A and B are shown apart, each in its own frame.
Chain A
Amino acid sequence: MLNPVDLAAVWLTLKLAGTATAVLLLLGTPLAWWLARTRHWAKGVIGALVTLPLVLPPTVLGFYLLVLMGPDGIFGRLLAAGGLQPLPFTFAGLVVASVIYSMPFVVQPLQQAFEAIGEQPLEAAATLRANPWDTFFAVVLPLARPGFMTAGILGFAHTVGEFGVVLMIGGNIPDKTQVLSMAIYNHVEALEYEAAHRLAAGMLAFSFTVLLLLNALKPERLR
């Protein structure tokens, strides 16, 4: 069905989306918790920064990431000082870019889920001897589970579909940074419509399934 290059692209895409989603949930959870609970003046600024990728053209984001992470960029130099190679055109670079790019899709559902829980169950847990960490794991996590499912699915799906950021920061290196959307683009460029179809139809089916899944996850009262 798929040639080895396409297969590698599919595998790389899944690997990238999986890794990015894991990192997103790890970073997004405390960030969303903080945004949901704080009255700090910086809440607006941080919230806007997290949401920025929603409105920014991916190429703009990718361009600045390339500049910052390149050998002459601030982060690039920091990495070099630490004896690490620069991130652009590597898988790690793709992960970093994807995490930033998909952050709002993870943080927003989580933040909404945390806000919906409110203060009341937390107070009740405290009067039942649960310390704040205990409360988070025993009460907040289970109550926010639909939020986590939504966040995970959206983060994964959004990463699978990215193009512009990857193009800027990762290039189009088969087996290394060539993801699905890139492979489709290559096929179209080469006028291999049938091969493009196979991948594109797969993406279409995948996206549809994701939305169907999300709908099924919604609590009954929202349907």
Chain B
Amino acid sequence: MSIRARFRLPYPTFTLDVDLDLPGQGITALFGRSGSGKTTLLRCIAGLEKAAGGFVAVNGEIWQDGARRLPVHRRPLGYVFQEARLFPHLDVAANLDFGRRRIAEHQRRVSLERAVELLGIGHLLDRRCDRLSGGERQRVAIARALATSPRLLLMDEPLAALDHARKQEILPYLEQLRDEMEIPVLYVSHAPDEVARLADHIVVVDHGRAVTQGPLAEILARVDRPLRLGDDAGVVFSGMVVERDAEWHLARIVFAGGEVWVRDGGAAVGRRVRLRILARDVSIARSRHDDASIMNLLPATVVSHVTEDHPAVALLQLRVGDTPMLARLTRHSAARLELAPGQQVWAQIKAVALVG
């Protein structure tokens, strides 16, 4: 089960040169700044770019190789564009049905009802497309793509054109899609928070090349900064809700290596959740300080540290049990604390975000 894509194509500002072997399930983020070639890569996989040569195979089905190239409409894919691209002459229901009615009956694995329910758009069906909000349009576009029962869902920055509130409106639907549908997704994004929340796997694209790839948690915890996230550097890991404190509205989450208290987001005891801790929210102490406001204090081992983009700042890689963690501090502090690999310290965590 894998998605293979190989391209070598010159473009005006970069040369697309990739040879990818991606997991055939879950969400894989194609991450990179604008102009890095990630959208072009997605379009090549879809067949939307006139890419001669190249190779694309999705879970064993060859879509394109040296000898032949399936046209876009013969590829069993779903594509969600940055702008929803709904057909303005059709209402929501007809838009949803556009792709579904064009596939053979025995290939319809996702029912229209399922797609409508998953994206929560049942109340919009007889609405005209120009009477939809930006968030609603994008949800209809996602449902429209799902209704074709795709073997691969390609999403090109589906949230980039939306404001913060609309993004928060759609993200839970995308999480549900990830958790409940067995459709592999390639998700192009330049937003670290989206990637941290949604992706299982990440490919970092720069100048048309895949500079790094791997499981999200592993890549985010690296300090050699292939991601160059700056303020957004931080780790993502999963844990389980084991207790909810009604008085203080906090939830206790256990993860491989310890436990943390977070704001109770409503997740039931026993639920698996994803946590994100930014490097800038972690400070380091040589001894345990119980007289500070910090609630989450975790014993950690220093793994390594490197200098950040600014010479004053260091990024420290820690290990809390089996879970890697990053901390950002000044190089001055690192020197004063005489931090060295193997040393035991306390990680003082100012903020933990539940990201789904």
Interface residues of A (CB under 8 A from B): 120-121, 123-132, 134, 138-139, 142-143, 145
Contact A126 B85 (CB under 8 A): no
Contact A127 B78 (CB under 8 A): yes
Most buried by B among A124, A125, A131, A143: A124
Residues of A within 8 A of B144 (CB): 128
Kindly specify which of B31-39, B96-104, B116-124 makes contact with the partner chain.
B96-104
Kindly specify which of B13-21, B69-77, B237-245, B285-293 makes contact with the partner chain.
B69-77
**For the complex, is B336 an interface residue (Cβ under 8 Å from A)?**
no
Among candidates A123, A127, A134, A139, residue contacting B87 with C-beta atoms closer than 8 Å: A139
Among candidates B72, B78, B89, residue contacting A126 with C-beta atoms closer than 8 Å: B72
A163 nearest CB across to chain B (Å): 39
Contact B72 A127 (CB under 8 A): yes
**For the complex, is B223 an interface residue (Cβ under 8 Å from A)?**
no
Knowing A142-B89, A143-B89, the reply to whether A127 touches B102 (Cβ < 8 A) is no
Residues of A within 8 A of B87 (CB): 121, 124-125, 139, 143
Q: Secondary structure at chain A's binding surface: helix, strand, loop or mixed?
A: helix
Task: Give complex CA distance A129, B78 in Å.
Answer: 9
Contact B102 A120 (CB under 8 A): no
Contact B48 A124 (CB under 8 A): no
Residues of B71-116 contacting chain A, CB below 8 A: 71-74, 77-79, 81, 83, 85, 87-89, 98-99, 102-103
Residues of B within 8 A of A126 (CB): 48, 71-73
Residues of B194-222 contacting chain A, CB below 8 A: none
- Nearest B residue to A128 by beta-carbon distance? B99
Among candidates A121, A127, A138, residue contacting B77 with C-beta atoms closer than 8 Å: A127
Knowing A120-B81, A123-B72, the reply to whether A128 touches B89 (Cβ < 8 A) is no
Task: Give complex CA distance A142, B91 in Å.
Answer: 13
Query: Which 3 residue pairs spanning A and B have beta carbons closest together?
Result: A128-B99, A127-B79, A126-B72
**For the complex, is B46 an interface residue (Cβ under 8 Å from A)?**
yes
**For the complex, is B30 an interface residue (Cβ under 8 Å from A)?**
no
Task: Give complex CA distance A7, B189 in Å.
Answer: 69
Among candidates B46, B83, B88, residue contacting A127 with C-beta atoms closer than 8 Å: B46
Task: Give complex CA distance A125, B72 in Å.
Answer: 9
Task: Give complex CA distance A124, B87 in Å.
Answer: 9
**For the complex, is B145 an interface residue (Cβ under 8 Å from A)?**
yes
**For the complex, is B148 an interface residue (Cβ under 8 Å from A)?**
yes
Known: A127-B79, A128-B144, A130-B73. 10 other contacts (CB 8 A): A120-B85, A121-B85, A123-B81, A127-B48, A127-B73, A127-B99, A128-B73, A128-B148, A129-B148, A131-B71
Contact B102 A128 (CB under 8 A): yes
A51 nearest CB across to chain B (Å): 29
Knowing A127-B145, A129-B102, A130-B102, the reply to whether A120 touches B79 (Cβ < 8 A) is no
Contact B81 A129 (CB under 8 A): no
Interface residues of B (CB under 8 A from A): 46, 48, 71-74, 77-79, 81, 83, 85, 87-89, 98-99, 102-103, 144-145, 148
Among candidates A120, A123, A129, A132, residue contacting B99 with C-beta atoms closer than 8 Å: A129
B115 nearest CB across to chain A (Å): 13
Task: Give complex CA distance A124, B89 in Å.
Answer: 14
- Nearest B residue to A135 by beta-carbon distance? B73
Task: Give complex CA distance A133, B85 in Å.
Answer: 19
Residues of A within 8 A of B102 (CB): 128-130, 134
B183 nearest CB across to chain A (Å): 14
A89 nearest CB across to chain B (Å): 45
Instruction: List 10 A–B pairs whose Cβ atoms lie within 8 Å, in order of A's numbering.
Output: A123-B85, A125-B87, A126-B72, A127-B145, A128-B73, A128-B148, A129-B73, A130-B102, A131-B73, A145-B89
B103 nearest CB across to chain A (Å): 6
- Nearest B residue to A142 by beta-carbon distance? B89
Residues of B within 8 A of A130 (CB): 73, 98, 102
Residues of B within 8 A of A129 (CB): 73-74, 99, 102-103, 148
Task: Give complex CA distance A145, B124 in Å.
Answer: 26
Residues of A within 8 A of B46 (CB): 127
Task: Give complex CA distance A35, B22 in Å.
Answer: 41
Task: Give complex CA distance A138, B85 in Å.
Answer: 15
A210 nearest CB across to chain B (Å): 25
Among candidates A131, A138, A143, residue contacting B88 with C-beta atoms closer than 8 Å: A143
Residues of A within 8 A of B83 (CB): 120
- Nearest B residue to A123 by beta-carbon distance? B48
- Nearest A residue to B78 by beta-carbon distance? A127
- Nearest A residue to B107 by beta-carbon distance? A129
A133 nearest CB across to chain B (Å): 10
A40 nearest CB across to chain B (Å): 15
- Nearest B residue to A143 by beta-carbon distance? B89
Task: Give complex CA distance A190, B145 in Å.
Answer: 70
Task: Give complex CA distance A181, B48 in Å.
Answer: 52
Residues of A within 8 A of B145 (CB): 127-128
Residues of B within 8 A of A121 (CB): 85, 87
Residues of A within 8 A of B48 (CB): 123, 126-127
